Amino acid sequence: MKNVKTSRQEIKNTAGNAMILNPRNYLPILGLALALLVPLIVTNSYYLGLINLVILFGAAGIAWNIVGGYARQVSLGHSIFFGIGAYTTTLLQIKFNISPWIGMFFGGVFAVLIGILMGMSVFRMKGHYFAVFTIAYSYVMMLLFQKFRGLTGGAEGLSVPFNDGSLAMFQFSSKVPYYYIFLLALVLIILLVQRLGKSRIGYYWTAIGQDEQAAMAIGINIAMAKHLALGISAFLTAILGSFYAQYVYFIEPFSMFSTHMSVEIALVAIVGGLGTVMGPVVGAIVVKPIAELTNMFLGNVLPGANYALYGLILIVAIIVIPNGLIVPINRLYQKLINRLERSSDRN
For other proteins, which is the closer residue by CB, 275 or 280?
A: 275
Q: Report, in Å, the least distance between residue 275 CB and other proteins.
A: 8
Q: Report, in Å, the least distance between residue 178 CB and other proteins.
A: 36
For other proteins, which is the closer residue by CB, 103 or 279?
A: 279
Q: Which residues contact 213 (CB under 8 A, 6 or more apart)?
A: none
Distance from C-alpha of 328 to C-alpha of 332, rounded to nearest angstrom: 6
For other proteins, which is the closer residue by CB, 274 or 285?
A: 274
Q: Report, in Å, the least distance between residue 7 CB and other proteins.
A: 6
Planar angle of CA 136, 190, 50, nearest 5 degrees: 70
Cβ atoms of 133 and 125 closer than 8 Å: yes
Q: In angstroms, how far is CA 344 from the centroid of its own chain?
A: 36
Distance from C-alpha of 295 to C-alpha of 72, rounded to nearest angstrom: 31
Cβ atoms of 64 and 265 closer than 8 Å: yes
Cβ atoms of 58 and 285 closer than 8 Å: yes
Q: Report, in Å, the least distance between residue 216 CB and other proteins.
A: 4
Cβ atoms of 317 and 271 closer than 8 Å: yes
Q: Report, in Å, the least distance between residue 197 CB and other proteins.
A: 12
Can you give the binding site for other proteins, defined by CB under 8 A?
Answer: 1, 3-4, 6-7, 200, 203-204, 206-207, 210-211, 213-223, 275
The amino acid that residue 105 corresponds to is F
For 117, the 3-state DSSP assignment is helix
Q: Report, in Å, the least distance between residue 236 CB and other proteins.
A: 23
Q: In angstroms, how far is CA 164 from the centroid of its own chain?
A: 29
For other proteins, which is the closer residue by CB, 200 or 335?
A: 200
For other proteins, which is the closer residue by CB, 3 or 173?
A: 3
Helical ranges in the chain per DSSP H: 7-16, 23-41, 45-65, 79-96, 100-122, 127-147, 149-152, 176-197, 200-210, 212-217, 222-248, 253-256, 259-272, 279-298, 305-320, 326-346
Q: Report, in Å, the least distance between residue 3 CB and other proteins.
A: 6
For other proteins, which is the closer residue by CB, 71 or 284?
A: 71
For other proteins, which is the closer residue by CB, 20 or 218?
A: 218
For other proteins, which is the closer residue by CB, 204 or 310?
A: 204
Q: Report, in Å, the least distance between residue 331 CB and other proteins.
A: 16
Q: Is the C-alpha dihedral spanning 200, 204, 206, 210 positive or negative?
A: positive
